[in-house]
Chains A and B, each alone.
Chain A
Amino acid sequence: MKNFAYYTAESVPAAARALAGMKNAVAKGGGTDLLALLKDRVLEPDEVVSLKGAKIDAKVAGVIAATTTLAELAADPWIKKHAPAVHVAADEAATPQIRNVATVGGNLCQSTRCWYYRNKNFACSKRGDDACAALTARSQHRYHAVFPHVACASAHASNLAPALIAVAATVHCVHPDGDRALDAGLLYQDPAKGRVQDTILRPGELIERITVPDSPLARRSTYVEFRERESFDFSAVSVAAAVHIDGGKVIDARIVLGAVAPKPLRATAAEQALVGQPLNAATIEKAAAAAFADARPLSDNKYKVVIGRRLVMRALAGLKEMR
């Protein structure tokens, strides 16, 4: 790990202002992902700005401070009742030790687990190389994207992001030039050469809070993930789903896939397959097929498509039984 100057911030706006003026700085939440990237020298910042002690006003139910730990989020009774998908995603994340330290903001901004990205011995377009070491026939890509970008096969690692997108949470961002509030689904963008971050956050822009709405959609939400090892493992596929059913028909639906693309993926075709229909075995199967209709798996990870379809079906079947 390269050494750096370390800053503690009183508030997120103060940290954002400072970061906007720094040339080679990173923000740190709990640091559980960041420290690994620093140790592997994937990132070599001169300055690290810690948000750990930053004061954030988030006393209202449904408002989550970015510095909330995953353990705190998992223990939040309001979230458990009003956004079960978010509760389960937080509770299933990583390990007790990591949940005690890792923050919601950090979870949303974490880097991909792509082993080519994290090993500087390999070429990586995110790190600025022309090639992507994952995108050859002989690469090892069993955990990579089944909806790969043309220049990057990384899979997005956050399990919280699909859940927050599914419940239509709002992300409140702070920037010296003006704050903004985004639907969580708009937080991410496609990869580009030389850009390590997956979010649309500008330099000096930080997530301060996330708001989970009190809505029929969020209340009827669920999160399921598939991991090879039940003990600590990142999911090979995850699915967050939420439906609003009224009069026996789905009037709103969100289905979000995790770990299958460089960013969390809204399965809009699957959502459309449900809207206006009753939630039953036939519509569930149709939605699951639609969710992965456009998948282009690599040679090692076709299994993720099969399992992903199954997870969509299980998630929706679970929602059918809810209430």
Chain B
Amino acid sequence: MADDKIRVSRRDILRGAGAAAILGTALPASAKEAAAKAPAGLTRHGPGAVPVSIGLNGKAAKVMVEPRVTLLDALRDRLDLTGAKRICDRGACGGCTVWVNGKTVNSCTMLAIDAAGADVRTVEGLAQNGKLHAVQAAFVEHDALQCGFCTSGMVMSCAALLKNNPKPTLDEIKAGIAGNLCRCGTYGHIFNAVQEASR
């Protein structure tokens, strides 16, 4: 009984992704009317929903969003990628960390429209060919997570750190994740995991 119920719900959730995307493209775009009125040297977008195309975890993706919609909300509520979390919602905790053109950003503090044309990678797209990234594997091995709500962002910051600095010192690890907070207090195990992944 219980099993059936979960399965049904999961299917519903998955269906949500497709439906939202379809719904998105059907929304009226105000881009046309707007572009006409833009001052010289400027391009106008919105205020209605506008199409935003991004490279998302290696694939092309498109969403219709108002200019005010953040990259985080576009990912979570329109593209069904809920790995990045909304925690502080003001760029102070790193829970929403994703890579934009290979660099870590707080997706809660970036407009989706500012990611147009960019290569966006989320925690869902970090593992390659079904194999965990070294940081992810080390997080599992060292229990570098408890409730796990900060983990998506932590993993993205740690992986970016190792990309730029394959053999970081402990202080460099700390500085590299200074923009990511953890409430459960897993930092010690995160340091261990990053050191392991750097070996």
Interface with B: A2-10, A243-251, A252-260, which one? A2-10
- Cβ proximity bits B42-64 to A, threshold 8 Å, 1 near / 0 not: 11111100100000000000000
The interface residues of chain B lying within 8 Å CB-to-CB of A49 are 42
Residue B97 contacts which of A2, A7, A97 (CB distance < 8 angstroms)? A97
Nearest A residue to B37, CB-CB: A5
The interface residues of chain A lying within 8 Å CB-to-CB of B110 are 31, 35, 101
The interface residues of chain A lying within 8 Å CB-to-CB of B152 are none
Interface with B: A15-23, A77-85, A119-127, A193-201, which one? A15-23
Given contacts A4-B68, A38-B68, A97-B179, contact A17 B106 (CB under 8 A): no
Interface with A: B13-21, B74-82, B88-96, which one? B88-96
- Number of A-B residue pairs, CB cutoff 8 Å, is 121
- Cβ proximity bits A78-118 to B, threshold 8 Å, 1 near / 0 not: 00000000000000001111101100000000000000000
Given contacts A5-B34, A5-B67, A38-B68, contact A96 B176 (CB under 8 A): yes
Nearest A residue to B92, CB-CB: A232
In which size bucket is the chain B interface? 35 or more
Given contacts A3-B67, A36-B91, A39-B90, contact A98 B46 (CB under 8 A): no
Could you say which of B66, B94, B104, B174 has the most chain A C-beta atoms within 10 Å of its C-beta? B104
Would you call A6 and B94 a contact (CB within 8 A)? no
Interface of chain A, main secondary structure: mixed
Interface flag for A14 (CB, 8 Å): yes
**How many A residues, CB 8 Å from partner?**
38
- Cβ proximity bits B107-125 to A, threshold 8 Å, 1 near / 0 not: 0111101100000000000
Nearest CB of chain B from residue A47's CB, rounded to whole Å: 9
Nearest CB of chain A from residue B185's CB, rounded to whole Å: 13
Residue A94 contacts which of B44, B46, B70, B179 (CB distance < 8 angstroms)? B179
Nearest CB of chain A from residue B89's CB, rounded to whole Å: 7
Residue B68 contacts which of A2, A15, A95, A230 (CB distance < 8 angstroms)? A2
Would you call A5 and B157 a contact (CB within 8 A)? no
Q: Can you list 14 pairs linking A and B with CB atoms under 8 Å apart?
A: A6-B44, A6-B45, A6-B111, A7-B39, A17-B40, A18-B42, A31-B110, A31-B111, A35-B91, A50-B114, A95-B178, A96-B160, A97-B106, A98-B109
The interface residues of chain B lying within 8 Å CB-to-CB of A8 are 42-43, 45
Interface flag for A305 (CB, 8 Å): no
